Structure formats: C-alpha cells, structure tokens
Amino acid sequence: MRTWAITKRVLKELFRDKRTLMLIFIAPLIVLALMNYIFGVNTTTDVTIGTVHVSQTVNQNLTKVQHVQVQKYHSQADVQQALKYEKIDSSLIKHGDHYQLTHANVDTGKTKLAKSAVQVALTQNNIRHLTTSLTKMQMLMPQGRAPKLSTKIPQIHNRYNYGDGNSTFFAKLMPILMGFFVFFFVFLISGMALLNERTSGTLDRLLATPVKRSDIIFGYMLSYGLIAILQTLLIVCFTIYGLKVQVIGSIGIVILVTVLLALIALSLGIFLSTFAKSEFQMVQFIPVVVVPQIFFSGIIPLTSMAAWAQWLANILPMKYAADALTNVIMKGSTLIDVSGDLLIMVLFIIILTISNIVGLKRYRKV
C-alpha cells in the first residue's frame, strides 16, 4: 500500500507538468522523424555473397568487383542457413537459366552493392560467351556451318529477407535509435525527478516516516515504469505506422525489450541522481553515461573496433537491447533467440534496484 501511495503521488505530480510530458512523449517522435529524413540515404561497404550452382566464371567475375567476397555453398539449405546467421550478406542461386538473388537487407548499402556486383558479373559472363560464339562462327564459316548465336540473357529475381528495394540506411539504425531514445528520456526525467524530491526536502520527509527505502524505490519504478510503457507503445506505433518501418518478428517482443530498457534507464537515473547536488550536475552525467551507449550499441560495427572498445560495449545495457531489437525487427528472432540479451537486461535491473535501495541509506536521518 505504501508503494502504491508513493506511485500515485508521483504520477499526479508528473501529469501536472505538461513540459515533462511533452519531453517524454512528443520529443522522441520529433527526433525520430528528423533522423528518418536526415539518414534517408544508402551507404556502401564490404559485402559477402554466397553462391550455389553458379559457374566458376561468374564466381571469378564477382570477386573482381571491389569490396565483394564470394563464399561457395553446396546446397540451397546451407546458403540460407548462412544468410540467417549473418555469415553472408546475400545469396545467389542458379535455377536453370534464372538466378535467385536473396538479400538479408539489414544494410541497404550492402544490398545495392550485391545487386550491382551480380549484374556486372553476369554481364561479363554473357560477353565472354558471345565472344566465344563469334570466334567459333568465324572458324566454321568457311565450312558452311554457322553456329546458332545465343543472345539469351539470364534473368535475376531479387528477394529481400527484410524490407524491399526501397529501404534506406535509416532502416538499419531504426531499432537502435528506438531503444536509445526510450533510454535517454526515461533516464533524464527519472533522475531529475528524484533529485528534485531530494533538494526540495520531500525525500527527507518520506524517510522520516516508517516507510521503507524499498517502498520508495519500488514506488518510483512503478510510476515511471507505467509512463515508460506508454512511451514505448507510442514510439513503437509511431515507428511502425508513422515511419513505415517493417517489423519481421513479434511486436510484443519489441515492446518487452523496450520496457526492460526503460526500467534500466529508470534505475540508472535514480542511482546517479544520488550523486548529483543539482540539475546541472545531473545533466553532466549525460556525456559520460548516456552518449557512450549509442556509440557502442551497434550503429558502428563492434567488430571493427579495438578490443578495449568491444569489452566496454559488453558492460553497457544499450548493447544488449540494441542486439535484441535488431534481431527481432530485422531478422524475425523469437523470444528464445533473444533470451540471453533479456536475461542480462533483467540482471542490470536487479543490480541497479538493489544499489538504489542501499544508496538511500545515506539520506535516512532516523
């Protein structure tokens, strides 16, 4: 009952502050819409194409294209498995006179490069066949036997595991940005709220009563947890229906991951607010605690970073949330597939909650 009483009081004060509500619900949507406009471009990077039943000549032509690597597979099942687990970026399978080109499409730059490379390789192969036929024709013409010249061009059928041919670079960033904005705004608002409670003397009066420290922490987590759920639903709906971002996996899992991330941000904001003496000092934690979350969340591939940077990413909660969101949204991963990331996120929540309860001991005067 004490926890619920604190929850109702916090919610009542929160809903009276219109600017805070705007910061929680409207600001993330505006920023996402702006970034969707700004990052609506494509990039080019290295790409690996898996091939099945493709001639040696076509494979060699593919390897001659800059930034393209080729991996041969014996069966369609093998190449599909490799595509699923990100060992390759696209697969090229020959079916008679036709080619099926399937793209993971989690990076539209790689998709465009793969399509271009395959088109170039097949064109060069056709030119080689045409040259060979013309040479034979010249050799056989004196004998009165002109070979039939084949000008049939193989067709390429493109498929996309995620999105379509019009997907932009923003589609790759969207799962990460969606989680980051939930993290950032919940962290900022929750930290400021408890700091204001402390500086105004409200926290001291609460701690002077028989109320438990755990009741205070759980009350804040419940109240802001409810707000975080509303914020998550709004951001997810805006992302899917407003920005037209495709979600291959379960929307329920996306909401679950984002809510857990919001609870981490809430716990972290409360924890760090105990070390700040003013709102300005709370803001100073942003470049130290919040900004690294976005840099080490997967926007820049972690494999391209130094070993110390990869180690640092493993102790940041945003990395696990970004992995889970990306896998669910772009690859259709199930709850079991992302269970490892979810367990680590729950562990963050437990550790931070216990730290908050212990941390309040320093403010209890009686």
pLDDT tens per residue, the chain (366 residues)? 677 777 777 777 777 777 667 767 787 777 667 556 545 544 447 888 999 888 888 888 888 888 888 888 988 888 888 887 778 888 898 887 788 888 887 777 788 888 888 888 887 777 776 666 656 655 555 555 555 545 555 666 677 666 555 566 666 778 888 888 888 888 888 888 777 777 777 777 777 777 787 887 888 788 877 887 888 788 888 887 887 777 888 888 998 998 899 899 988 988 888 777 777 777 777 777 887 788 777 777 776 667 777 788 888 899 999 999 988 888 888 999 999 999 999 999 999 989 888 877 766 554
**Amino acid of residue 85:** Y
The pTM of this model reads 0.65
| Per-residue model confidence (pLDDT) at position 15 | 76
Instruction: Give pLDDT, residue 340.
Output: 93
pLDDT at 169 (0 to 100): 60
CATH number of 47-160: 3.40.190
For the chain, the domains span 2-40+168-363, 47-160
C-alpha–C-alpha distance, residues 240 and 174, integer Å: 10
Closest C-alpha among 340, 346, 344 to residue 263: 346
Pairing of strands 68-72, 47-52: parallel
With b meaning 16 or more CB within 10 Å and e meaning fewer, what string describes 303-327?
eeeeeeeeebbeebbbbbbbbbbbb
